[in-house]
Amino acid sequence: MKVAIYSRGLDHDLKTQLILLLTELQKHNIDILLLHSLASHGLDMNTKGINLFSHPSELDNTIDCLISLGGDGTILDAVTLVCDKNIPLLGINFGRLGFLAGIGKEELTTAVDALINGTYMIDKRTLIHLDSNLSLFGNTPFAINEFAIHKRDISPMVKIHTYLNGEFLNTYWSDGLIVATPTGSTGYNMSCNGPIVFPESSSFVITPVAPHNLNVRPIVVPDNNVISFEVESRSDQIICALDARREIVDKSIQLAIKREKFTISFIRLNENNFLSTLRTKLMWGLDKRN
C-alpha cells in the first residue's frame, strides 16, 4: 500500500499527530509520500519508506490514498491535487468544523487500522466545472463546493441573467450568485439560506447572495443542465470564485457551469454518514427542550 500525506503547514499539535501518523503507517510497512514542505519542519524520525513530493504531477494512480491533515480548507486543496486521478481522500480534522475532513484527530489510529483492513466506505462526490471565453483557474477549473459570482468590494449590486441550457431562468439583482454542488450545499449555500441536499441527489443549487427581491428564492436543478450567465454591473469588474479560489475578471466575460466529468472519492469510517454529520456538526434538529 502507498499513501500520500498533505497539509498546509505544521503547528505543534499537528506536528505531533503527523509523527504519530507516520509511525503508525511505518508499523504496517506502508510506503509514504510526504509533502516536501512538511519534511522541512525538522521531523526527527526514521525515513525508511518515506519519499517526498512537491508537485501534483508526482501523484499517480499507484497511490491508494491521500491523507489530508487540517480542516475543510485543506481538503479543498487536496481536491485540486488529486484531480481526475481517482485517488481517495481521507481527511483528518484539525480545524473548527470538519465537515469534509470528517475524521477527528483522536481517531487517527482507528483510521489507519481501517485503511489496512479495508473497513471503510467510499463516498463519491460530484464536482462543478467552469467554462469561459478566458482561461481561468489554470489547470483546475473545477470545485467540489461551489462556483460563485460576486460584485467587487463596495460596488453596487449586480444583475446576473441566468440561463438553463440556453433558456432564460431568471435575472438576479443581488450581491452575487452561488451555484453549489450537493457537497457544497452545507457550506456557503446554506449560509445564504439555500437548501441542504443529499450528496447523491445529482443536482445543483442556485442561490442568490443578498437578493433585492422578496420573491426570489434558491432553486434546485438537475446537474445535467448547463448553467450560463450574463452580468451587468456599474463596475467594470466582477469576482469569480471556485471554492476558496477567486479571480477578478471583466464583467463582459462569458461563463458557463456544468457537472465535471470525474468525481472525487472520500474515505469515511463506517459509523459516519451524512445524517450523523448533519446532527453532530451542524446541530441539525437539536432541541434543547429534549
For residue 289, being part of any structural domain is answered with: no
For residue 290, being part of any structural domain is answered with: no
Which tops the pLDDT comparison, 106 or 76? 76
Beta sheet of 176-180, edge-to-edge order = 219-222, 203-209, 176-180, 146-151, 237-242, 245-250
Q: Do 168 and 276 belong together in one domain? A: no
Contacts of residue 185, defined as CB under 8 A and 6 or more positions apart, other chains included, come to 194, 195, 196, 197, 205
Q: List the single range of 9-13, 173-177, 210-214 with lowest mean pLDDT.
A: 9-13
Residue range 2-31: average pLDDT? Answer: 87
Residue range 245-259: average pLDDT? Answer: 96
**Catalytically annotated residue among 60, 72, 243, 250:** 72
132 in Cβ contact with 104 (< 8 Å): no
Residue range 204-230: average pLDDT? Answer: 96
pLDDT of amino acid 142: 98
Q: List the single range of 42-56, 66-80, 82-96, 249-263 with lowest mean pLDDT.
A: 42-56
Q: Do 8 and 95 belong together in one domain? A: yes
For residue 219, being part of any structural domain is answered with: yes
CA torsion sign for 97, 204, 166, 157 is negative
pLDDT of amino acid 42: 58
Residue range 245-266: average pLDDT? Answer: 96
Q: Do 132 and 242 belong together in one domain? A: yes
Res 175 pLDDT > 90 = yes
Q: Which helix (H) or strand (E) holds 190?
A: helix 188-191
278 phi and psi, to 5 degrees? Answer: -60, -45
Q: Do 133 and 122 belong together in one domain? A: no
Q: Do 165 and 69 belong together in one domain? A: no
Res 290 pLDDT > 60 = yes
CATH number at residue 31: 3.40.50.10330
For residue 239, being part of any structural domain is answered with: yes
Q: Do 13 and 105 belong together in one domain? A: yes
Q: List the single range of 190-199, 249-258, 273-282 with lowest mean pLDDT.
A: 273-282
User: Whole-angstrom Cα distance, residue 265 to residue 166?
Assistant: 31
Q: Do 224 and 252 belong together in one domain? A: yes
Q: Do 247 and 268 belong together in one domain? A: no
For residue 135, being part of any structural domain is answered with: yes
Per-residue model confidence as pLDDT tens digits over 98-157: 788 878 888 888 889 999 998 899 999 999 999 999 999 999 999 999 999 999 888 889
Q: Do 28 and 93 belong together in one domain? A: yes
Number of structural domains (the chain) is 2
In sequence order, what are the beta bridge partners of 164?
167, 227
pLDDT cut 90: percent of the chain above it: 64
127 in Cβ contact with 165 (< 8 Å): no
Residue range 209-232: average pLDDT? Answer: 95
Rama region for 49: left / alpha / beta (φ>0; ψ in -120 to 50; rest): left
| Residue 29: CB atoms within 10 Å | 9
Q: Do 116 and 31 belong together in one domain? A: yes
By residue range, what is the domain housing residue 176? 128-259
Res 74 pLDDT > 90 = yes
Which tops the pLDDT comparison, 188 or 96? 188
Res 229 pLDDT > 80 = yes
Q: Do 148 and 190 belong together in one domain? A: yes
How is 181-234 classified by DSSP, letter by letter?
-TGGGGTHHHHTTPPP--TTS-EEEEEEES-S-TT---EEEETTS-EEEEEE-S
CATH number at residue 178: 2.60.200.30
For residue 286, being part of any structural domain is answered with: no
For residue 58, being part of any structural domain is answered with: yes
pLDDT of amino acid 48: 64
Active-site annotation holds for 72? yes
Per-residue model confidence as pLDDT tens digits over 25-61: 988 889 999 998 888 765 655 566 788 999 999 999 8
User: Whole-angstrom Cα distance, residue 216 to residue 214?
Assistant: 6
Among 195, 188, 176, 201, CA closest to 259: 201
Contacts of residue 118, defined as CB under 8 A and 6 or more positions apart, other chains included, come to none
User: Whole-angstrom Cα distance, residue 190 to residue 211?
Assistant: 15
| C-alpha cell read off for 237 | 469588474
| Residue 72: CB atoms within 10 Å | 21
Q: Where do we find the cell 441536499? A: 197
Q: Do 97 and 172 belong together in one domain? A: no
pLDDT of amino acid 103: 84
- pTM exceeds 0.85 for this model: yes
